[in-house]
């Protein structure tokens, strides 16, 4: 039912005792870094990504968002909406260095930090190791230090579980904070459009609208049996989310699911020899990342996206981890050979290694649970 990432779930039992959770989200992170480092860009619409015919926005500044530009939008569409849009190529080495700097700030307040990406993370500050007194004050101190030490702004959500904290961090962006206290979760969720729920993308929201559900309150009015008939394995998550319930832990040192590379071509490719040549470059980039991370995995997956945006994947799993670059390469080429010749041209190719060592299977959402005694924030 979802056309975006599913809500994560670590599968653990609920953490005992009371919890205070902060979700910190950097504001338009990549674009803000570009504006910080080039003062001439400040106050102007900026996009990070490729500006060619096949380019896609990785992110864009708030000035660009006022024109309707957004992440994952084709660059040609963004330029049509905002003719003055300024493009900058991503500098992931810079973004990664700043992300590490911000993470060190987090770790000054709690060891329980769960990064979701370079620009956002959950923090469990229940134990209040520094005796600051409240999660809200900790969030404010973190936001101030990020501003002082990086020259960037971050928004924060503070609540008694991860689901609500993430919703709250988006509530007063940019450079804002929102606190959802115990007893307020269900009421807060009731007034939100369901498209704001993590895991519900545009198509999922469209399906819900067709069933008469556009707000959290309308979702909460449906019983679990009705939700299971219409949404299958997502039903339990939706039932809990509509009531502001989420008993997942903040999980530090979160395991990576896969490593690899994908590339969008400037022009569609249909030739087998050309695709094999591109695959060699993707293999080299992917294995460099795998080796750097010292990762070991058992499944190699080839991903192809056609000119009409339909997607084709092929995967092969071993009983043991893939041992060498040559073995990784051989599997990748064998997977490509399985689908050649192609019925239509390809616009994107990717190759990943997954089922990494230490990875555990995860259910589709947090387990259904009751309420618990919750701390004041």
By C-alpha distance, which of 169, 37, 43, 40 is closest to 90? 37
What are the extents of the domains in the chain? 29-91, 187-241, 258-356
pTM: 0.70
Give the residue numbers of the binding site for Mg(2+): 25, 119
Do 258-356 and 29-91 fall under one CATH topology? no
The CA distance from 246 to 224, in Å, is 16
Task: Please tell me the CATH superfamily of domain 258-356, with its number.
Answer: DNA polymerase, Y-family, little finger domain (3.30.1490.100)
Backbone dihedral angles phi then psi of residue 136, each to the nearest 5 degrees? -65, -45
CATH class of the domain comprising 187-241: mainly alpha
What CATH number matches the domain at 29-91, 1.20.1260.10, 3.40.50.300, 3.40.1170.60, 1.10.3470.10?
A: 3.40.1170.60
Per-residue pLDDT tens, the chain, 377 aa: give them. Answer: 433 333 444 434 444 456 999 999 999 999 999 999 999 999 999 999 988 887 899 999 999 999 999 998 999 999 999 999 999 999 998 999 999 999 999 999 999 999 998 999 999 999 988 899 899 999 999 999 999 999 999 999 999 999 999 999 999 999 999 999 998 999 999 999 999 998 788 888 899 999 999 999 999 999 999 999 999 988 999 999 999 999 889 988 766 678 888 888 878 998 999 999 999 999 999 998 898 878 899 999 999 988 877 889 999 999 999 999 999 999 999 999 999 998 899 988 999 999 887 443 333 333 322 323 333 45
Give the residue numbers of the binding site: 25, 119
Active site residues per annotation: 120
The CA distance from 269 to 56, in Å, is 18
Count of CB atoms situated within 10 Å of the CB of 343: 8
The CA distance from 68 to 63, in Å, is 10
Give how far Cα 351 sits from Cα of 179, 271, 285, 286, 370, Å.
Answer: 41, 18, 10, 7, 42
Q: List the Cα angle 67/71/72 in 5-degree steps.
A: 120
């Amino acid at each position: 039912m979802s056309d975006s990432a599913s809500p994560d779930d670590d599968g653990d039992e609920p953490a005992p005792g009371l919890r205070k959770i902060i979700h910190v989200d950097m504001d338009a992170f990549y674009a803000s870094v570009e504006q910080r480092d080039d003062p001439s860009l400040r106050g102007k619409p900026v996009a990070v990504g490729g500006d060619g015919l096949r380019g896609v926005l990785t992110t864009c500044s708030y000035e660009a968002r006022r024109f309707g530009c957004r992440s994952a939008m084709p660059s040609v569409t963004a330029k049509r909406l905002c003719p003055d849009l300024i493009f900058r190529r991503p500098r992931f080495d810079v973004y990664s260095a700043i992300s590490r700097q911000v993470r060190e700030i987090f770790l000054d307040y709690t060891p329980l930090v769960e990064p979701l990406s370079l620009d956002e993370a959950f923090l469990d500050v229940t134990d209040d190791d520094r005796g600051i007194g409240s999660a809200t004050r900790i969030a404010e101190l973190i936001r101030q230090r990020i501003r002082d030490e990086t020259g960037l702004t971050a928004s924060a959500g503070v609540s008694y579980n991860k689901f609500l904290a993430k919703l709250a961090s988006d509530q007063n962006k940019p450079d804002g904070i929102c606190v959802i206290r115990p007893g307020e979760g269900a009421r807060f969720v009731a007034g939100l459009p369901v498209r704001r729920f993590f895991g519900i993308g545009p198509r999922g929201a469209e399906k819900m609208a067709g069933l008469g559900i556009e707000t959290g309150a309308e979702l909460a009015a449906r019983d679990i049996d009705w939700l299971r008939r219409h949404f299958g394995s997502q039903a339990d998550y939706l039932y809990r989310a509509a009531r502001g319930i989420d008993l997942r832990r903040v999980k530090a040192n979160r395991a990576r699911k896969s490593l690899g590379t994908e590339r969008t071509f400037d022009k569609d490719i249909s030739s087998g020899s050309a695709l094999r040549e591109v695959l060699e470059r993707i293999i080299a980039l992917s294995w460099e990342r795998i080796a750097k991370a010292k990762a070991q995995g058992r499944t190699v997956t080839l991903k192809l996206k056609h000119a009409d945006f339909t997607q084709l994947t092929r995967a092969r799993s071993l009983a043991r981890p893939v041992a060498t670059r040559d073995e990784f390469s051989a599997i990748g080429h064998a997977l490509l050979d399985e689908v050649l010749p192609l019925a239509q041209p390809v616009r994107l190719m990717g190759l990943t290694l997954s089922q990494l060592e230490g990875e555990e299977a995860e259910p589709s959402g947090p387990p259904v649970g009751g309420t618990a005694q919750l701390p004041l924030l």
